[in-house]
Amino acid sequence: MEFNPSLQQGKLIKRYKRFLTDIELADGSVITIHCPNTGSMKNCLFPGETVWFSTSDNPKRKYPHTFEIMTTPTGDMIGVNTGRANDLAEEGIRSGAITELQGYRNLKREVKYGDENSRIDLFLSDGEQANCYVEVKSCTLLENNCGYFPDAVTSRGQKHLRELILMKQQGYRAVLLFLVQHTGITKVAPADHIDPEYGQLLREAAKKGVEILAYQAKLARHSVDILTSCVIDLK
C-alpha cells in the first residue's frame, strides 16, 4: 500500500484530547494533526522522536494532516492509524500474503452480523464453502519483547469475540486477525494485565473453534504492507 504523496515528518510534542497531536516541523513551526486512534496508545508515544504524517486535499477537513507512524527511540516504527489495519488485511488477503484466508471469490467490508448489532470487518464468501467472518484488531503495545492486545479495557472487543463464537457455533468460519503495526513485535498475546476478561474470552473463543491469526505489517515512509505471520501465545 503506497502513500501518495509520501509521508512528511516532524517531531512529536504531545497527543491530547485523544484525536489531536502537536508536532514540530524542521523549520521550528508547530502544527496540530489528527490522531486516528481511539486506544490508549500505551508505549506508542515518544516526545522528541520522529512522527510521519499524511496530508489530505479535502478542503472540508479542519486538520488536513493525519498521524500515521511513530518512530521509537530504538528505531522501530509503529503504525498509529488504526484505520489502516482493515485496508492492510484486505490487501493481504487479495495478494495471497495471508495464506489462511485464500480460496474465496468475494470480499465485503462492514457487513452486519451477530446478535449484538455488530458489523464484521471482512466477510469472505464463494458459495462453495462456509462463509468466513474476519474481525481485525490493530496490535501496537510492546512490553517485555511481546506484543499485547488490548492496550485498554475494551467492551467492544469483548463483544466481537462473543459474536465470533456465535458465528462458529452456527457453522460458519470465524477468524480473529491481529494486524501488528509495530516492527518490534514478533509474538502476540492477550493483555491479561490490562483486560483479563478479554483474555479469558479470547481463550474461550479459540477452544470453541475461532481461528486466531497474527500478521505483522512492514512500515516505511513510502508504503505499508503485510510482511509475515507472527506467533500467537495463548498460555
Q: What string of pLDDT tens digits covers the 235 residues of the chain?
A: 788 778 999 999 999 998 999 999 999 999 999 999 988 999 999 999 999 999 998 999 999 999 999 999 999 999 999 989 999 999 999 999 999 999 999 999 999 999 999 999 999 999 788 999 999 999 999 999 999 999 999 999 999 999 999 999 999 999 999 999 999 999 999 999 999 999 999 999 999 999 999 999 998 877 788 778 999 999 8
> Does a cis peptide bond (omega within 30 degrees of 0) precede residue 59?
no
Q: How far is the CA of 129 from the CAs of 2, 20, 33, in angstroms? A: 33, 44, 45
The dihedral built from the CA positions of residue 159, 160, 165 and 169, taken in this order, carries a sign that is: positive
Q: Which residue from 188, 227, 180, 6 is spatially nearest to 82, judged by alpha carbons?
A: 180
> Does a cis peptide bond (omega within 30 degrees of 0) precede residue 150?
yes
Rounded Cα distance, 44 and 42, in Å: 5
- Separation of first and last alpha carbons in the chain: 34
Beta bridge partners of 108: 123
Cβ-based neighbour number of residue 29 at 10 Å: 9
Cβ-based neighbour number of residue 194 at 10 Å: 19
Q: What is the structure's pLDDT at 24?
A: 98
Q: What is the pTM of this model?
A: 0.93
Contacts of 34 (CB under 8 A, 6+ apart): 19, 20, 21, 61, 63, 65, 66, 67
